[in-house]
Amino acid sequence: MTMVAALSLLPVSRFRPSCKFCSKKSVGGKGGLRVFAVFGEEGNNGSVDKKSNWGAIFHVDVPRPRVQPSNGKFLDAYQALEVARMDIQYCDWRARQDLLRIMLLHDKVVEVLNPLAREFKSIGTMKKDLAELQGELEQAHTQVHISEARVATALQKLAHMEALVNDRLLQERSSSESTSECPTLTPSTSSTSSNPMRSKSRQRSLNVAGPVQPYHPSLKNFWYPVAFSSDLKDDTMLPIDCFEEPWVIFRGKDGNPGCVQNTCAHRACPLHLGSVNEGRIQCPYHGWEYSTDGKCEKMPSTRMLNVQIRSLPCFEHEGMIWIWPGSAAPTAALPSLQPPPGFMIHAEIVMELPVEHGLLLDNLLDLAHAPFTHTSTFAKGWSVPSLVKFLTPASGLQGYWDPYPIDMEFRPPCIVLSTIGISKPGKLEGKSTRQCSTHLHQLHVCLPSSRQKTRLLYRMSLDFAPLLKHVPFIHMLWRHFAEKVLNEDLRLVIGQQDRMINGENVWNFPVSYDKLGVRYRLWRNSLEKGAEHLPFTIQDN
C-alpha cells in the first residue's frame, strides 16, 4: 500500500522583505524562496565579512527543495519528510538572518550615538535616525517571533513525518511476517475528528473510541482462567463477573470446581451470599441448594420441583480454575500458562479493576511507557532510550523488547506473559533476557468482567531465591508492590477510558513501539469481524 501524506506544499518562505537590510536579489527562482539579506548600508554592496567577523555564523546557503513540488497536494512519506526537512533548514537560515539584522541595527545605533558623528549632526537629525532605527528594531523583533512560531510548526511537521515513515517501516516489516496485518480497520464505534493530523493518519490508525460496545460473542469462545486454585477452598464461593454476567464458583462434593449463575432461580438472590454445604451452594434467602451443574437439589419447606440454573464448563488445571463462557463447543485441550521450567511461583494475586479489559491489555503490552509512568517503582532511575522497539522473530504475538531484557507474549484471548531479566528484583541488566542470570516471570490474565471492569489475575515466578517463598508475610510485600505498580498505570488508563467514552480514539497515533498492542487490536478486530483466519496466530482448532 502506498502511503500518502496530505501535506500542503505552501512554502514556508513567504516572508516579504520590508527593511533596507533585505531584498535585492531573488534566490530560488519563480515560486521559490524570496527571503534573503543584503548586508551593510543601503545602496552599498557591503557584506558581513567586511563589517564584522560574523561571516562564519551567517554563511549558510539558502535551502532549496530536493523534491520538486508536485501539482497535486499529496506526497508520499519520503517526499513529505524531505519537505519537512527543508522547512527546518529554512527556519535555521531565517533565524540567522533575523539575528544578523538585529546585530546590524545595533551597530547602526552605536554609530548614530558615536560622539564624533554627533558633532556633524543636528539633534533633530539624530532623533529622526534613532526613531527610524527603533522602528526597524521592532520589526526585527516581530520577525524573530514569527520565526519562533515557524520553527515550532516545522518541528511538529517533522515529528509527524517521522511517525509516518516509522509506521511505514513497521508496516513493511509486519507485512513480510504476516500478510493479514492490514491496519485499515472499521471502527467498533465511530468518531469524527477535526484534527488534521489525525485525519492524515486515519487510514493507518486503529479506531478505538466511544462507549465500550457489547462484547462480541466470538470473544467468549475461549477457555478463561478466572481464579487461582489456592483461593478456592472446599467451603468458599468466588463470585465473578464475566462478560457482564454474574457467576459463582465453588467446589462440588468430589472437590471439582463448578461455575453456576450467581442468581437464585427462586427470587434472584445472589448465591455467593449463602454458603457451601456438602458440595452444594445454598441460597441464603430460602435455602434452595444447587450442585455444580446448576441443578437444584434441595428446596426446603415446599414440594421439590425440577429447577436448574445455568452453569458453565469449569475445570481445574495447573493451579487455576478455567471456564468456557461461549456458546460454541469447548476446545478439547486447556491451555498451559505455567512458567518455564526452573521457575517457582512466588505470588498469586487477584484484583478487580475499574477499566475495560482491552485498555488494560493495551497497557500491559506496552513497555515504552515504563520510564515515564513507573518512576516510583520498577523503572525508577531508568533512562529514556533513544529508540524502543518490539521485535517479533518467532511469531506475530510474541517477541522481545529492545533495549530492555524483556520477552513478552500476548496469548489470546486476554493473557500477557513476560520474562524479565534481572540481577536483583527491580534492576534490569544485560541486553537480552538470555544474557541475564536471574529472571522474573509474570502472568497477567485480564478477564472481561463488564464493559468497564476487569478481573486481573497476576502470577509472579522467579528462577532464583526459592527460600523467599518461606519468608513470613512475603506475599503481603509482593501484593503491595504489585498494587503500587498497577496504580501507577491505573490512573492513566482510567483517564484514557474517560476520554475514549467521550469519543477520543485511544489508538489515534500508533508508533513503532506500539507494535504488540496494535497487533492485539488487529487480532481482536479480526475475531469480532468473524475472520476465518486470525492474524498472527497458528490456529489449531
Query: Could you list the residues that contact Fe ion (CB under 5 A)?
Result: 489
DSSP output for 87-143: HHHHHHHHHHHHHHHHHHHHHHHHHHT-HHHHHTS-HHHHHHHHHHHHHHHHHHHHH
Among 78, 285, 315, 382, binds ligand FES (CB under 6 A): 285
**Is the CB of 497 or the CB of 525 nearer to Fe ion?**
497
Binding region for ligand FES (CB under 6 A) out of 184-192, 259-267, 396-404, 431-439: 259-267
480's contact among Fe ion, ligand FES, none, with CB below 5 to 8 A by partner kind, is none
Q: Per-residue x/- marks for ligand FES, 472-511, CB under 6 A?
A: ----------------------------------------
Contacts of 43 (CB under 8 A, 6+ apart): none
Among 224, 228, 288, 410, binds ligand FES (CB under 6 A): 288
247's contact among ligand FES, Fe ion, none, with CB below 5 to 8 A by partner kind, is none
283's contact among Fe ion, ligand FES, none, with CB below 5 to 8 A by partner kind, is ligand FES
Report, in Å, the least distance between residue 304 CB and ligand FES.
Answer: 13
264's contact among Fe ion, ligand FES, none, with CB below 5 to 8 A by partner kind, is ligand FES
Burial of 216: CB neighbours in 10 Å, binned 0-12, 13-18, 19+? middle
Largest CA distance in the chain: 125
**Is the CB of 321 or the CB of 347 nearer to Fe ion?**
347
**Is the CB of 232 or the CB of 283 nearer to ligand FES?**
283
Three cell numbers written together for 167: 509506521
288's contact among ligand FES, Fe ion, none, with CB below 5 to 8 A by partner kind, is ligand FES
Contacts of 518 (CB under 8 A, 6+ apart): 183, 206, 507, 510
286's contact among ligand FES, Fe ion, none, with CB below 5 to 8 A by partner kind, is ligand FES
Helix/strand number for the chain, H first, E second: 10, 20
Burial of 266: CB neighbours in 10 Å, binned 0-12, 13-18, 19+? middle
Among 62, 212, 264, 462, binds ligand FES (CB under 6 A): 264
Q: Is 457 in the site for ligand FES (CB under 6 A)?
A: no
Q: Is 273 in the site for ligand FES (CB under 6 A)?
A: no
Among 4, 126, 269, 273, binds ligand FES (CB under 6 A): 269
Report, in Å, the least distance between residue 489 CB and Fe ion.
Answer: 4
**Is the CB of 121 or the CB of 286 nearer to ligand FES?**
286
Report, in Å, the least distance between residue 283 CB and ligand FES.
Answer: 3
CA–CA dist 524, 137 (Å, integer): 61
Among 267, 480, 484, 499, binds ligand FES (CB under 6 A): 267
Report, in Å, the least distance between residue 367 CB and Fe ion.
Answer: 8
Single-letter residue type at 48: V
Q: Residue 180's CB: how many other CB atoms inside 10 A?
A: 17
Closest CA to 48 of 92, 97, 91, 114: 97
CA–CA dist 49, 329 (Å, integer): 85
Residues in the chain, total: 541
362's contact among Fe ion, ligand FES, none, with CB below 5 to 8 A by partner kind, is none
Binding region for ligand FES (CB under 6 A) out of 46-54, 243-251, 261-269, 437-445: 261-269
At residue 316, φ and ψ (nearest 5 deg) are -110, 130
Number of residues that bind ligand FES (CB under 6 A): 8
Q: Is 428 in the site for ligand FES (CB under 6 A)?
A: no
DSSP β-bridge partners for residue 22: 37
Cβ(288)–Cβ(265) below 8 Å: yes
Report, in Å, the least distance between residue 313 CB and ligand FES.
Answer: 24
Helices (H), 396-459: none
Long-range Cβ pairs for the range 74-80 (8 Å, 24+): 74/4, 74/5, 74/6, 74/7, 75/4, 75/5, 75/7, 75/9, 76/2, 76/3, 76/4, 76/5, 77/3, 77/4, 77/5, 77/161, 77/164, 77/165, 77/168, 78/165, 80/5, 80/7, 80/161, 80/164
Q: Is 266 in the site for ligand FES (CB under 6 A)?
A: yes
**Is the CB of 348 or the CB of 366 nearer to Fe ion?**
366
Report, in Å, the least distance between residue 292 CB and ligand FES.
Answer: 17
Q: Is 389 in the site for ligand FES (CB under 6 A)?
A: no
Q: Is 431 in the site for ligand FES (CB under 6 A)?
A: no
Burial of 280: CB neighbours in 10 Å, binned 0-12, 13-18, 19+? buried
Three cell numbers written together for 82: 524531505
237's contact among ligand FES, Fe ion, none, with CB below 5 to 8 A by partner kind, is none
At residue 439, φ and ψ (nearest 5 deg) are -140, 155
Report, in Å, the least distance between residue 217 CB and ligand FES.
Answer: 29
489's contact among Fe ion, ligand FES, none, with CB below 5 to 8 A by partner kind, is Fe ion
**Is the CB of 181 or the CB of 489 nearer to Fe ion?**
489
CA–CA dist 443, 228 (Å, integer): 12
The helix/strand/coil state of 423 is coil
Q: Per-residue x/- marks for ligand FES, 66-95, CB under 6 A?
A: ------------------------------
Which residues are at the interface with ligand FES (CB under 6 A)?
A: 264, 266-267, 269, 283, 285-286, 288
